[in-house]
Structure 1
Amino acid sequence: MSTSLRTPTGHDARGRSRGPRGSRGSRPGLALTAIVATQLMFLVDATVVNVALPDIAVDLGFSSTRMSWILNLYTLAFGGLLLLGSRIGDRIGRRRALVAGVLAFTAASLLAGVAPGGGWLLFARTAQGVAAALAAPSTLALIATSFPEGRQRARALSIFASISGAGSALGLVLGGALTDIASWRWVFLINLPVGLAIAWLAPRHLDETPRQRGPFDALGALLGTLGMTSLVYAFIRTAEQSWGDGLALGAFAAAAALLGGFLAVELRVRRPLVVLRLFADRNRSVAYATMLMIPAGMFGVFYFTTQYLQRYLDYSPFRAGLAFLALTLPLFAASRFAPRAQARFGPKRTAVAGLALNTAGILWLSRIDAGSGYADGLLGPLVLMGVGVGLTMMQLTTLILSGVEPADAGSASGLLQTMQYVGGSLGVSVLVSVFDAGLRHSAGHTFYDGTGAAFTAAAGFSAVALLLMSAARGVPRKA
């Protein structure tokens, strides 16, 4: 199996090959900066408001129940519309989709940053999610058309994977710093210079991809979007209420019916929204399922660890954010080592080792109690998790994109990111339910009884990912 996307080539007037499309200009570093900054901005915004929520609630008058929708509306719009966004990018060109999405995201961030009331902020967060869903699927596809096969593309994928793994944790660090030093409004306003810089860089250093012609799968787009939105909403609802909640059960039923209809449509249309042949490859299918499980554990860990730091260790938002550097810095270091590990051991064995470390770290975290502090309770587990995820993410990206035709790259990328966000929603909803059950059925009824149960369940998600990856076929080291 090839470990890279097949890259379209062009020819000059004499018929000589020009190499991969995407060689616009001689600064590939700036092209990668535009792509990676886009991915980072969207991932950071999934968690950046976590530590700012108490300040936002006081300023804008949010109740504790309504406050959760500041997080959930972004996830709901982003996760629900990613599949549609990937196909729109194929139709209008991926660079155009990325720039349009980034500019819309920047405008929505401005609206959020100056929001005078709660309704305004919730609308802006929804708009951010819609814009992110348009641009995000183009990121990986543009790496394929901007970097030639071999060392350059492996390095680009390594950096992209490290950002994908660390973006959510970086959001916690950045959110805490901005809230303490300036104001909660800056967790949104910081996107303005970043978004404008991306919109300036992308047209200058990224080539446009060919537009796909032919009929648009309108019915598939409708069913897929409604189905994914219903599924994400159902997970969010269970986290807020319970698994027996009527609305949650209705949303799950609607999601099953809509996604079933979506699959039926995709099997018979000429240009499907999701290219189902992507799942014909065993390693790709395993990697997609593994990509679902990793954030299912990680997002829940972030959710409860943030509460533990601020409520029980009495950390300020800034200090709580800095605490996650114990995960973020090892993750970046391991990500830089990941290409060499892949070349020596292959993507399967490297990912298995990373997932084993991640599972061990989360299990260690489940042992925190009232006598634990940061150094003896959190530091070691966070370091292990950072190294584990850093080793794993590039391997999954490689397995998912191996041998994908250029015309299918947007669909493959959109599915990858859909798995991440649906996995995050799944994880938080399951772990909140497990936390509540642990709290109710324990003798002490303490926060630590709940987190012990929740972190054990999170380790279960990682263990499932480890088992899935063990079932993948080995890839030769020379790949």
Structure 2
Amino acid sequence: MPLPLTEAQRPIGATASGHRPGTLRHRLTHPTVFLAVILTAQLMVVLDTTIVNVALPHIQRSLALSGSGLSWVINAYILTFGGLLLLGARAGDLLGRRRIFLTGIALFAASSLVGGLATSGWMLLAARAAQGIGAALAAPSALSLLTTVFPEGPGRVRAIALYTTVSAAGAATGLVLGGLLTELVSWRWVMFVNVPIGVAVFVVGRLAIVETERRRGRFDLVGALTSTIGMGAVVLGLVEAGSSGWTAPVTVVSFLVGLSLLAMFVATERRAEEPVLPLRLLADATRSTANASRGLVYAGMYGMFFFLSLFFQDVQHLTPLRAGLAFLPIPASVFLSSQLASRVLVGRLPQKTVMLTSIALATLSLALGTQITVSSSY
């Protein structure tokens, strides 16, 4: 059974669950209920990295988006989510993790509703960006709350194992669920589906989660904004290079703005008393190499998701549901290979060997993907 809350999380006069006995809030603050709230929130956040993919052809036809504009349906969410993740974690430390978690969930649900009602491409892209901001607020606070509520020991190990499993399963679930909703109802339901889930998480979370102690400190807002907007500008340059050419004004300006902002980010982090990304972390060659490798692999994987979503439906004429199911070998192989690496290879082989072999296999698979033609079979 999950362990009770730590002493630090109990209000005066409360029981181990965190609230006075006999009340609804006391019953809802049982660790199992709390864990269900956190896991559901994490599933919803991870789900949205892939649930939209299978709906892309339908979104493009419905909102008359260009090919480059369509890519931003994915990029708008991932960039704001990843770019503001550290700032979201900092906000939880300074303002209270419960408050920031619930704020993120509320923003995520509201922006999902707006996205489902979108009447133009810009409206959908704005909603996706807002979803990313909500996810960046909710996700780090969720994990922090998990480690705060469950003390060290078997309870915390089980909780984190479930959290990791949900995170890993979210991508595969999103692909299939996105295809199912698009085929049976409408592409708009890949957005609407988050609304009842988000409302339920918010309502139960208000009762089940106890606020954490706040810390003193400052926000590195400049660092967060320059890094996020800088990365967004570089991505815009890459997208426009494919459609307008490498020497097109929009491509050149995007790269110049992006690189300038990223240079400003580095300068800001060097001077900041409490930087959003301490540069000393990048001085560790092992950590930096591992993070860069993982980033490149995931960039290739999400690019492949985008391409195959269009290929399966527009070229091979699969239904949305069949297209979603066609993706399953990818997350299945990710899950199996991660289990093989963690349980068998790591400890028997040098970590460097395992990592380089993994990168080589990922690179080879992406290279093979470049050979796909309109006559290629599944």
TM range (shorter): 0.7 to 0.9
Classify 1:178/1:256 alpha carbon distance in 2 versus 1 (closer, same or farther; 3 Å): same
Cα deviation, 1:32-63, whole Å, max 9, x if unaligned, reads 33333333322322332222223233333434
The Cα of 1:270 is off from its aligned counterpart by 2.1
SS at 1:62's partner residue? Answer: coil
SS at 1:52's partner residue? Answer: helix
Is 1:171 the counterpart of 2:174 in the alignment?
yes
The Cα of 1:196 is off from its aligned counterpart by 1.5
Paired residues of 1:79 and 1:232 also in contact (CA < 8 A): no
Within 5 Å, give how 1:40-119 maps onto structure 2. Answer: 40-119=43-122
Amino acid at match of 1:178: L
Match for residue 138 of structure 2 among 112, 135, 140: 135
The Cα of 1:183 is off from its aligned counterpart by 1.1
Classify 1:326/1:67 alpha carbon distance in 2 versus 1 (closer, same or farther; 3 Å): closer
Count, aligned residues: 363
Query: What does residue 202 of structure 2 align with?
Result: 199
Is 1:123 the counterpart of 2:122 in the alignment?
no
Q: Distance in 2 between matches of 1:146 and 1:12?
A: 10
SS at 2:318's partner residue? Answer: coil
Paired residues of 2:28 and 2:204 also in contact (CA < 8 A): no
Query: What does residue 341 of structure 1 align with?
Result: 343
Classify 1:75/1:114 alpha carbon distance in 2 versus 1 (closer, same or farther; 3 Å): same
Paired residues of 2:179 and 2:321 also in contact (CA < 8 A): yes
Paired residues of 2:71 and 2:306 also in contact (CA < 8 A): no
Q: Distance in 1 between matches of 2:237 and 2:82?
A: 12
Classify 1:347/1:201 alpha carbon distance in 2 versus 1 (closer, same or farther; 3 Å): farther
Paired residues of 1:86 and 1:138 also in contact (CA < 8 A): yes
Is 1:229 the counterpart of 2:241 in the alignment?
no
Q: Distance in 1 between matches of 2:144 and 2:194?
A: 23
Q: Distance in 1 between matches of 2:337 and 2:210?
A: 31
Cα deviation, 1:188-213, whole Å, max 9, x if unaligned, reads 11001211222134344444333232
Q: Distance in 1 between matches of 2:41 and 2:130?
A: 16
SS at 1:214's partner residue? Answer: coil
Amino acid at match of 1:136: A
Match for residue 322 of structure 1 among 312, 321, 325: 325
Classify 1:52/1:80 alpha carbon distance in 2 versus 1 (closer, same or farther; 3 Å): same
Paired residues of 2:101 and 2:142 also in contact (CA < 8 A): yes
Classify 1:165/1:241 alpha carbon distance in 2 versus 1 (closer, same or farther; 3 Å): farther
Query: What does residue 38 of structure 1 align with?
Result: 41
Amino acid at match of 1:319: R
Is 1:209 the counterpart of 2:212 in the alignment?
yes
Classify 1:355/1:300 alpha carbon distance in 2 versus 1 (closer, same or farther; 3 Å): farther
Paired residues of 2:108 and 2:135 also in contact (CA < 8 A): yes
Amino acid at match of 1:341: R
The Cα of 1:103 is off from its aligned counterpart by 0.7
Amino acid at match of 2:50: T
Within 5 Å, give how 1:234-273 maps onto structure 2. Answer: 234-273=237-276
The Cα of 1:179 is off from its aligned counterpart by 0.6
Within 5 Å, give how 1:177-192 maps onto structure 2. Answer: 177-192=180-195
Residue range with higher mean Cα deviation, 358-367 or 46-55: 358-367
Paired residues of 2:29 and 2:209 also in contact (CA < 8 A): no
SS at 2:88's partner residue? Answer: helix
Paired residues of 2:179 and 2:323 also in contact (CA < 8 A): yes
The Cα of 1:294 is off from its aligned counterpart by 2.6
Classify 1:11/1:70 alpha carbon distance in 2 versus 1 (closer, same or farther; 3 Å): closer
Paired residues of 1:81 and 1:228 also in contact (CA < 8 A): no
Where structure 2 has 5 or more consecutive residues not aligned to the other structure, the ranges are 1-5, 17-26
Q: Distance in 2 between matches of 1:328 and 1:130?
A: 25
The Cα of 1:319 is off from its aligned counterpart by 0.7
Q: Distance in 2 between matches of 1:321 and 1:90?
A: 38
Q: Distance in 2 between matches of 1:262 and 1:273?
A: 10
Paired residues of 1:162 and 1:332 also in contact (CA < 8 A): no
Cα deviation, 1:232-270, whole Å, max 9, x if unaligned, reads 433443454444443333333333332222222222332
Paired residues of 2:97 and 2:211 also in contact (CA < 8 A): yes
Paired residues of 1:215 and 1:271 also in contact (CA < 8 A): yes
TM-score (ref. length: structure 1):
0.63
SS at 2:49's partner residue? Answer: helix
TM-score (ref. length: structure 2):
0.77
Structure with bigger RCO (C-alpha 8 Å, 6+ apart): 1
Query: What does residue 465 of structure 1 align with?
Result: none
Amino acid at match of 1:39: Q
Paired residues of 2:234 and 2:254 also in contact (CA < 8 A): yes
Classify 1:110/1:288 alpha carbon distance in 2 versus 1 (closer, same or farther; 3 Å): same
Q: Distance in 2 between matches of 1:28 and 1:216?
A: 31
Q: Distance in 1 between matches of 2:145 and 2:105?
A: 15
Q: CA RMSD in A?
A: 4.1
Classify 1:350/1:122 alpha carbon distance in 2 versus 1 (closer, same or farther; 3 Å): same
The Cα of 1:163 is off from its aligned counterpart by 3.8
Q: Percent identity?
A: 41
The Cα of 1:175 is off from its aligned counterpart by 1.1
Cα deviation, 1:347-382, whole Å, max 9, x if unaligned, reads 9868965874685477367657xxxxxxxxxxxxxx
Amino acid at match of 1:148: P
Cα deviation, 1:309-363, whole Å, max 9, x if unaligned, reads 324443111111112233345555666x579728x94598689658746854773
Paired residues of 1:52 and 1:175 also in contact (CA < 8 A): yes
